[in-house]
């Protein structure tokens, strides 16, 4: 079968699927076809490349470990002119809490509260309601507190292929060098009590 | 004057919490986060809290916790250095500094996440009916905690005849019961509240079960419906 026809089949499968479609399902469906040298992931890349041009307003993206057609971000404004769209928004506290859960999962409510310095009960509930986070188990601690983690929906909402596709916590390196600096400061500086900046 | 000025409340959400406020003060005064002048920052912090009180802004208690922490650090820094110079003294500021750095990291991470292509904000799949907003799809009467308690009571009444003459060693925890319920509900999709109990049950079983159900409801991991007064209470997974 010609490559065009194969990519066309994949296109229909992804288009018809409501959720991001996993490669293994495409492979299952197309297992009856002898692909020869070609592979499904390779064909998907070919298909994806076809949408890259300026002429197309949609693109093929890998989210939540599957493939989905989505509109290109530069056209978001136009879609918002359609009244049918309810723009989704997350408040700053929600985003912050979500970031903590995303990077630190599995994490307990107490740990989240500690990082944020405020009670996070309400925000956690909102995130649970929005299905961006879920309870993924319990921690072996007194009281067996629940631990939270992110969901499949989270990956879909943030257009992430999988959890490792999150932007790197940039300052992990900075942090360690910062800690070194802190240690250096401690040794170099006079003892805190005699510190000039802190005199009454 | 008819109006009561003290009823006037402002809710400012500029600062998400005390750590956020501290970071702001450190940045505004161009201070070095690795070498926080505690006296100075405590004064600034307390001034800000005072200001908020004057404005009648509701203050979360956490703001006061950090105020206390600051004062404690300040006090510890005034304690004269140990006579033995060999002895390693931990900077009393270290824990707070680390917390602030950690918080800053996640604030940055949140900013980065906000820059990702967000579904229904930057990018859209076909079909517009979906939204990450939780939708209320209930059609039937929703049973509330009260109804659950009524059901609980009726089961308790049925258990009344039972004479407990033995001590059960094997006890199911609420957590276990939560898992049991979730397991059953994920297979059956919906179950009647009454059938959650084992064939022979003790009061302890009932209590554990009701606690488990209440907890699951609170976390919105299940929904609960009653189609008619005194009818069966159905539990199911929210769609």
Task: Answer yes or no: is B188 within a domain.
Answer: yes
Chain B residues touching A98 at Cβ < 8 A: 110, 113
Give the sheet arrangement for strand B233-236, strand by strand.
B190-192, B233-236, B223-226
Higher pLDDT pick, B141 / B218: B218
The whole-angstrom distance between B110's CA and the closest CA on chain A is 5
Provide the number of CB pairs (under 8 Å) joining chain A to chain B: 176
Query: Rounded CA gap, B39 and A193, in Å?
Result: 11
Out of A93, A169, A199, closest to residue B16 by CB? A93
Whether the pLDDT of residue A153 is over 80: the answer is: yes
Per-residue confidence (pLDDT) for residue A170, from 0 to 100: 62
Out of B103, B114, B121, closest to residue A87 by CB? B121
In chain A, what are the domain boundaries?
Answer: 3-80, 92-165
C-alpha radius of gyration, chain B, whole number: 28
Residue B41: Cβ-neighbour burial (10 angstroms; 0-12, 13-18, 19+): buried
Show the beta-strand stretches assigned E in A97-152: 107-108, 133-138, 146-150
Q: Which CATH class is domain A3-80?
A: mainly alpha
Per-residue confidence (pLDDT) for residue B139, from 0 to 100: 39
Residue B67: Cβ-neighbour burial (10 angstroms; 0-12, 13-18, 19+): middle
Query: Rounded CA gap, A35 and A49, in Å?
Result: 19
Higher pLDDT pick, A48 / B126: A48
Q: What is the mean pLDDT of residues B111-128?
A: 86
In chain B, the percentage of residues whose pLDDT exceeds 90 is: 16
Out of A69, A82, A171, closest to residue B105 by CB? A171
B17 interfacial to chain A (CB closer than 8 Å): yes
Asked if omega into B191 is within 30° of 0 (cis), the reply is: no
User: Is A157's CB within 8 Å of B119's CB?
Assistant: yes
Task: Answer yes or no: is B119 within a domain.
Answer: no
Please indicate whether the domains covering A3-80 and A92-165 agree at the CATH topology level.
Answer: yes
- Using one digit for the tens of pLDDT, what is the confidence trace for A58-84? 999 999 999 999 999 999 888 888 766
- Using one digit for the tens of pLDDT, what is the confidence trace for A122-135? 999 999 999 999 99
Q: What is the mean pLDDT of residues B203-214?
A: 86
Higher pLDDT pick, B194 / A28: A28
Other beta carbons within 10 Å of B103: 23
- The answer on B39 and B86 residing in a single domain is yes
Chain B residues touching A200 at Cβ < 8 A: 39
Number of domains in chain B: 2
Show the beta-strand stretches assigned E in A1-132: 58-63, 66-71, 107-108
Query: Rounded CA gap, A116 and B63, in Å?
Result: 12
Task: Answer yes or no: is B134 within a domain.
Answer: no
- The answer on B104 and B172 residing in a single domain is no
Chain B residues touching A152 at Cβ < 8 A: none
CB burial of A85-124 (b: ≥16 within 10 Å; e: otherwise) equals eeeeebeebbbbbbbbbbbbeebbeebbbbbbbbebeebb
CB distance A35 to A6 below 8 Å = yes
Q: What is the mean pLDDT of residues B49-76?
A: 83
Per-residue confidence (pLDDT) for residue B230, from 0 to 100: 76
- The answer on B10 and B107 residing in a single domain is yes
Residues in chain A: 200
Range of the domain at B15: 5-114
Helix (H) or strand (E) holding A116: helix A109-116
Task: Answer yes or no: is B120 within a domain.
Answer: no
Whether the pLDDT of residue B1 is over 50: the answer is: no
Out of A84, A95, A185, closest to residue B34 by CB? A185
Write the CB contacts of B113 (distance below 8 Å, at least 6 apart in sequence): A95, A98, A99, A102, A158, A166, A167
- The answer on B87 and B149 residing in a single domain is no
- Using one digit for the tens of pLDDT, what is the confidence trace for A161-194? 999 998 887 654 344 444 444 444 443 333 333 3
Chain B residues touching A198 at Cβ < 8 A: 37-40, 77
Task: Answer yes or no: is B135 within a domain.
Answer: no
Taking CA atoms, A110 is separated from A113, A134, A167, B19, B173, in Å, by 5, 16, 25, 16, 21
Q: What CATH number is attached to the domain comprising B172?
A: 1.10.10.580
Query: Rounded CA gap, B175 and A143, in Å?
Result: 10
Which of helix, strand or coil describes residue B194?
A: helix
Query: Rounded CA gap, A2 and B172, in Å?
Result: 61
Mean pLDDT across chain B, nearest whole number?
A: 77
Whether the pLDDT of residue A41 is over 80: the answer is: yes
Taking CA atoms, B76 is separated from A10, A31, A189, B19, B90, in Å, by 67, 71, 17, 20, 11
User: Is A88's CB within 8 Å of B121's CB?
Assistant: yes
B126 interfacial to chain A (CB closer than 8 Å): yes
User: Is B77's CB within 8 Å of A198's CB?
Assistant: yes
Other beta carbons within 10 Å of B186: 9
A-contacting residues of B 127-186, CB under 8 Å? 127-128, 131-134, 173, 175
Per-residue confidence (pLDDT) for residue B96, from 0 to 100: 92
Write the CB contacts of A28 (distance below 8 Å, at least 6 apart in sequence): none
pTM exceeds 0.90, yes or no: no
Fold of A92-165: Arc Repressor Mutant, subunit A (1.10.10)
């Amino acid at each position: 079968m010609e490559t065009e026809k194969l990519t066309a089949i994949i296109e229909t499968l992804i288009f018809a699927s409501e959720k991001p479609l996993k490669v293994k399902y495409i492979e299952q469906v197309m297992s009856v076809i002898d692909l020869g040298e070609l592979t499904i992931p390779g064909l998907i890349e070919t298909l994806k490349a076809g949408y890259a041009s300026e002429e197309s307003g949609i693109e093929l993206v890998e989210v939540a470990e599957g493939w989905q057609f989505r509109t290109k971000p530069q056209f978001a404004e136009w879609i918002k002119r359609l009244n049918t769209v309810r723009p989704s928004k997350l408040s700053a506290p929600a985003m912050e809490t979500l970031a903590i859960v995303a990077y630190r999962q599995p994490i307990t409510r107490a740990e989240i509260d500690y990082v944020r310095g405020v009670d996070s009960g309400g925000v956690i509930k909102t995130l649970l309601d929005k299905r961006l986070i879920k309870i993924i188990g319990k921690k072996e601690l007194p009281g067996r507190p629940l631990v939270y983690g992110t969901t499949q929906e989270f990956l879909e909402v943030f257009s992430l292929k999988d959890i490792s596709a999150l932007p790197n916590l940039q300052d992990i390196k900075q942090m360690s060098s910062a800690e070194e600096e802190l240690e250096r400061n401690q040794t170099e500086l006079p003892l805190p009590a005699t510190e000039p900046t802190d005199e009454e | 004057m008819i109006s009561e000025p003290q009823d006037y409340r402002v809710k400012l959400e500029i600062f998400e919490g005390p750590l956020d406020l501290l970071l702001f003060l450190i940045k505004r005064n161009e201070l070095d986060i690795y070498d926080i002048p505690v006296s100075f920052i405590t004064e600034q912090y307390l001034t800000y809290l005072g200001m908020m009180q004057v404005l009648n802004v509701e203050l979360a208690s956490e703001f006061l916790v950090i105020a206390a922490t600051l004062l404690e650090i300040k006090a510890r820094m005034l304690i004269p250095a140990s006579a033995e110079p060999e002895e390693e003294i931990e900077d009393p500021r270290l824990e707070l500094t680390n917390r602030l750095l950690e918080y800053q990291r996640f604030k940055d991470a949140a900013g980065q996440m906000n820059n990702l292509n967000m579904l229904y904000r930057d990018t859209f799949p076909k079909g517009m009916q979906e939204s990450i907003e939780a939708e209320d799809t209930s059609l039937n009467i929703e049973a509330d905690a009260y109804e659950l308690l009524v059901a609980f009571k009726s089961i308790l009444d049925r258990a009344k005849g039972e004479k407990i003459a033995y001590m059960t060693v094997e006890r199911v925890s609420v957590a276990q019961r939560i898992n049991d319920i979730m397991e059953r509900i994920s297979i059956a999709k919906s179950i009647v509240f009454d059938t959650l109990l084992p064939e022979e049950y003790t009061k302890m079983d009932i209590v554990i079960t009701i606690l488990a159900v209440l907890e699951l409801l609170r976390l919105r991991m299940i929904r609960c419906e009653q189609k008619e007064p005194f009818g069966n209470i159905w539990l199911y997974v929210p769609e």
